[in-house]
Amino acid sequence: MKAFMFPGQGAQRIGMGAGLFAAFPEQVATADAILGYSIAALCENGPIERLTRTNFTQPAIYTVCALKYLQQVADGPRPDVVLGHSVSEYVALFAAGAIDFASGLRLVAKRGELMDRATGGGMAAVLGLDAEQIEKIIADNHLADIYPANFNTPRQIVLSGKRDAIIAAEALFKAAGASHYVVLQVGGAFHTPFMAEARRDFAAFVADFSFAAPQIPVISNVTARPHQPDTIRERMIEQITAPVRWSDSIRWLLAKGASFSDFSEIGPDGPPVVKPMVKRTEMEAGPLDAATLAAEEAAAAASSAPSPVPPADPRPPRFGLCAETIGSRGFCHDFGLRYPYVGGAMYQGISSEDMVVRLGQAGMLGFFGAGGIRMPQVGQAIAAIRARLPEGAPFGVNFIAHMNHPHLEDELTDLLLTHGVRVVEASAFMEVTPALVRYRAHGLRSDGGTISAINRVIAKVSRPDIAAQFLAAAPDRIIAKLTQSGAITADQAELLRHVPMADAICVESDSGGHTDQGMPFTLIPAVLRVRDAAKAAFPRFGRVHVGAGGGIGTPEAAAAVLVLGAEFIVTGSINQCTIEARTSDAVKDMLEGMAVHDTAYAPSGEMFELGSKVQVLKKGLFFPARADKLVSLYRQCDSLEAIDADSRRQIEERFFRQSLAGIWDDIRARAPAAEIERAERLPKHRMAMVFRRYFKDASRWALNGEMERKVDFQIHCGPALGAFNQWVAGSALTSWRARHVDEIALKLLDETAQVLNHRFSTLMPGGSA
């Protein structure tokens, strides 16, 4: 077996490539045109300050290694397998025919440009400790800002993370037995979750490139096994944040029969860089054991698929989880997503057009917050979102229950059907309603033995009994009523009886907004059992997915609900404190400073008559106490006139800053006649309408940032945002002005995968907690 290896960043030196550039004028001209400068002049003459800048180093390394490969195969035999360290994995792909020279250089130039933007990061080479020892030091000392990034040999490992943390950790690793701890001169935390922004932008760039099936095996840095043709793009995107598993790659090749003499380093002339790593790996660990290799090959033969790729070293990550592989691939497929991530709706457009578009562009699902917005504005928002997203990109609209105003549900259904909105988030429902059933019916299609739903519903529920309603067919009484009125056809009525009302259930635990204060540890297993019990009732319909929302603001929280069985996660509160959220800067400033304990439960303005609660920010605000006072008076008194004089004076002067009579006059001038008639006939209802004005105004004051009413701001928020603030404290995401909804989503997913990899590893035999 002849293996060609290409060294990565760090192999550059002044004078490299001398003699190559003249031999390959066509490729050099292509490189100059792509880069906009002379690659030969940079490599041969420097200056070194430029050549060592990531955005220049990576194209230079790629070009020199690629030309060196062309020279090598022109004079001698071709390799049987190729592998490249970090950036030079693109050289390996070029050598194997998966990409052409120009495409590879464009990808490398973009990669280098994005990685060069990273600041505040650092790396350090640690010698003398193995992966398990390093992982234990990181875990025992809670070094949350440091990750193993390059596993060069079993006992030569490069750490990456925040620069201050990297420098400060030297004493810990030296004390644990490291023979050397060398801080490297780099500015980014390469191959860690800190590169999430670069990874996101690179993912968008690489989407326009195609990869051919390699003509010879190319070993992936991410999996330490040969690339599979259909996942090359995904692995190369992941490579930006994943560690380089170089020693595992060498051990796999050794196990496949390669010896030290079979490895050739193809790169800049000078002292070898990666060839010595082969000898060190051979001495420190040797090939993979035969049992591991046999198990992989047996599994591959049994499935007629590429072999699984468990890491060989007893260190995290053993399980190879990443942002694209956690959660449910089935959920992602059914909803057209890349990631199992949903941005939940927040009323009055707080989950804005910008928020939905950014999530959709990143392969995630965002719901526009249609609650509390007039229908023409909702229609305009849908049109604007669709215009900004590529055809077929995911997005949805919130479908909120209106117990007191069911006509609003009908109006929204008409709008959704008119605009062809294919996904809704059904929230605050205590029972399935005719309008929601009508939306569902108009999207049902029968194809022989199966029924599919074009109009899909993700139902947010906080009780298993409500979940059961959405996991059942539409009620017969509603189907009959809609059929009789002509709202649905007889065929649609029949199809409704063979499908559940929802395609997915979001189990909503203690969250911002409406909440039953549930715990995910009891709710998720209970709803999963309801789902499993119900699925036999719909043999012609596909699988119903179960996800989780509420309280998810950190990787640990997301990992916990995934372990419980959630197939996707839904975030809300953390998205309210981002650039894209459509609320005032004043609110975002307050949310940025909140802690986990800074929320309280207050009556729901829409449903306080039923005892419904919402969770809101309490820090520095009077709203929770004042809302409780109003609802207490509502329960004690039968009319506005029955309120005692002191209480009346208090709420008029401090809460409303207006007389109750004046408020009623204003309401009477605007409300529908039927509603006014009911209020005149039922004094208790009139009191509810007047009190509800405070709740509406409190939200409006917050959204508009009306500082003279700051103490009355109603800001729906759960403790997840406090946990998020604590998690990102001291990082680039400390300020909401640096938070983009898609970037924090990717960071959350990336680090959730890391948490799962680490936790699963510690639970395995030989693991270290």
Q: Quick check: helix, strand or coil at residue 769?
A: coil
- Tokens, residue 256: 């496949």
- C-alpha 78/C-alpha 62 separation (Å) is 19
Beta strands in 482-608 (DSSP E): 504-508, 513-514, 545-549, 569-571, 599-603
Q: Residue-wise over 374-396: b if at least 16 C-beta within 10 A, else e?
A: eeeebbebbeebbebbeeebbbb
Task: Tell me the chain's radius of gyration from C-alpha atoms.
Answer: 30
* Beta pairing partners, 218: 82
Backbone dihedral region of 421: left (phi > 0), alpha (psi from -120 to 50 degrees) or beta? beta
Residue 123: how many CA atoms within 13 Å on its side-chain side?
21
Helices within 272-352 (DSSP H only): 275-284, 290-303, 329-335
- How remote is the C-alpha of 400 from its chain's centroid? 24
Does the annotation mark 191 as catalytic?
A: yes
- How remote is the C-alpha of 88 from its chain's centroid? 28
Contact predicate 512/572, CB 8 Å: yes
Q: How far apart are the first and last CA of the chain?
A: 40
Measured between alpha carbons, how far is residue 570 from residues 454, 558, 717 in Å? 22, 9, 14
The backbone torsions φ and ψ at residue 600, rounded to the nearest 5 degrees and listed phi first, read: -150, 165
- How remote is the C-alpha of 520 from its chain's centroid? 20
Instruction: Write down the residue that tokens 């039923």 correspond to.
Output: 610
Using DSSP bridges, classify how beta strands 146-153 and 180-184 pair: parallel, antiparallel or unpaired: unpaired
- C-alpha 232/C-alpha 99 separation (Å) is 11
Residue 323, H or E segment: none
- Tokens, residue 207: 């989407």
Residue 157, H or E segment: strand 156-162
Residues found in the chain: 769
Of 85, 191, 227, 716, the active-site residue reads 191
- C-alpha 374/C-alpha 759 separation (Å) is 47
Residue type for 249, please? S
Beta strands in 38-114 (DSSP E): 81-84
Of 86, 160, 328, 352, the active-site residue reads 86
| Residues involved in catalysis | 86, 191
